[in-house]
């Protein structure tokens, strides 16, 4: 090991350890006597899901939901990936929640997070998030948990990870049950100039997500499934049902439609 590095390393270690020395074994409350810390409160994060106000229930035998085109459908699976959740203070300060959130509607532990996050007291203008991973984070094979869940996006479509799998059945134009699989990820574009891959995440600021933090609170992000299928453009399951991953226009349309899928409630 390089001596300079060793020296720096030891200094660092000693600072860290000395800090714990002074923290000592006293309970946290007593520290307040000496320092005036920034006051913080815990925020608990939850994801909720509905379809235009109806609860999203998986695997119903009927088709209880209706999209903007009047097509009836049910949902058998919903998994999605959210990252860069950021809480913005009016004064410009930001608290970013580390890591990603991989929500699987069949696993309640993935949408009711018991780990609670400490954030500073203050006035918040709202919450923003990235749907999927940005280019930097969307690195093939990087996340063990996602690999084990087969969450990878095929290399031939640009690699990285899926951002969403929303699946079910709809009643098609010939009045038959037909499958749909709204899978979202990198958008592959093939044209006369060759093949290119477009990052397909989006970052959105949740409307009306401002709040005043002076006590423990719960932040609920609610996804309205139907918003994937409208605003600005209505989605036709007969056109984009199964097998849409390689279809550039379908991928870009999800990006357009998705920006308003979440609303927030804070209590």
Partner 1 sequence: MKTIQYKIPFILSIIGILFVVSCVDDDPIEPVTPTGCDTCLVEYNPTPYNLKLPPFFSVLPTPVIPKNNPLTVEGIELGKKLFYEKKLSINNSISCSSCHNPDYAFNDQGVAFSLGAMGQSGIINAMPLFNLIYADSYNWNGNAATLEEQIFGPVKHPLEMMESWPNVAIKLQNDPSYVTLFKKAFPNETIDSITTSKAIAQFLRTLVSGNSPADNEFGSQLGFPINGRVLTVEERRGFQVFSDQEKGDCEHCHGNSYNPLWTEYTFRNNGLDLNPDSGRAAVTKLASDVGKFKVPSLRNLIYTAPYMHDGRFNTLEEVVDFYDQGVEPNSPNISVDMFHRTGANGHIINLSPQDKKDLVAFLKALSDPSFVTNPDYRP
Summarize as ranges the residues that interact with partner 1 (CB under 8 A).
3, 6-7, 10-11, 13-14, 16-18, 20-21, 24-25, 58-59, 61, 76-77, 140-141, 144-145, 147-150, 152, 154-157, 167-169, 174, 176, 178-181, 237-246
Integer Cα distance of 209 and 252 in angstroms: 26
The distance of closest approach from Cβ of residue 56 to partner 1 in the complex, given in angstroms and rounded to an integer, is: 15
- Residue 84, helix vs strand vs coil: strand
The distance of closest approach from Cβ of residue 70 to partner 1 in the complex, given in angstroms and rounded to an integer, is: 18
Q: How many whole angstroms from its chain centre is CA 116?
A: 16
Integer Cα distance of 185 and 80 in angstroms: 10
Kindly tell me which of 147 and 214 has the beta carbon lying closer to partner 1.
147
Kindly tell me which of 140 and 265 has the beta carbon lying closer to partner 1.
140
Integer Cα distance of 17 and 134 in angstroms: 36
Neighbours of 182 (CB within 10 A): 23
Q: Which residues 6+ apart lie within 8 Å of 252 measured at CB? A: 187, 198, 200
Q: How far apart are the first and last CA of the chain?
A: 52
Kindly tell me which of 228 and 262 has the beta carbon lying closer to partner 1.
228
The distance of closest approach from Cβ of residue 195 to partner 1 in the complex, given in angstroms and rounded to an integer, is: 14
The distance of closest approach from Cβ of residue 3 to partner 1 in the complex, given in angstroms and rounded to an integer, is: 8
The distance of closest approach from Cβ of residue 37 to partner 1 in the complex, given in angstroms and rounded to an integer, is: 20
Kindly tell me which of 41 and 178 has the beta carbon lying closer to partner 1.
178
């Amino acid at each position: 090991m390089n001596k300079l590095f060793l020296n720096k390393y030891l200094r660092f270690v000693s600072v860290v350890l000395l800090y714990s020395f002074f923290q000592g074994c006293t309970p946290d409350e007593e520290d307040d006597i000496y320092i005036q810390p920034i006051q913080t409160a815990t925020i608990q994060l939850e994801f909720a899901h509905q379809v235009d106000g109806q609860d999203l229930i998986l695997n119903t035998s009927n088709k209880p939901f209706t999209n903007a085109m009047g097509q009836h459908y049910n949902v058998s699976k919903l998994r999605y990936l959210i990252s860069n959740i950021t809480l913005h203070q009016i004064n410009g300060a930001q608290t970013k929640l580390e890591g990603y959130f991989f929500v699987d509607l069949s696993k309640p532990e993935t949408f009711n997070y018991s780990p609670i996050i400490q954030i500073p007291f203050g006035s918040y203008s709202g919450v923003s998030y990235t749907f999927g991973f940005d280019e930097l984070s969307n690195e093939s094979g990087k996340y063990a948990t996602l690999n084990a869940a087969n969450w990878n996006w095929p290399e031939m479509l640009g690699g990285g990870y899926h951002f969403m799998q929303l699946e079910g059945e709809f009643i098609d134009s010939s009045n038959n049950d037909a499958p749909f699989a709204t899978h979202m990820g990198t958008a592959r574009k093939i044209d006369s100039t060759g093949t290119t891959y477009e990052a397909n995440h989006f970052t959105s600021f949740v409307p009306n997500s401002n709040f005043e933090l002076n006590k423990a609170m719960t932040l609920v992000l609610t996804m309205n499934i139907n918003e994937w299928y409208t605003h600005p453009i209505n989605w036709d399951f007969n056109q984009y049902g199964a097998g849409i991953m390689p279809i550039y226009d379908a991928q870009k349309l999800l990006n357009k439609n998705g920006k308003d899928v979440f609303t927030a409630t804070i209590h």
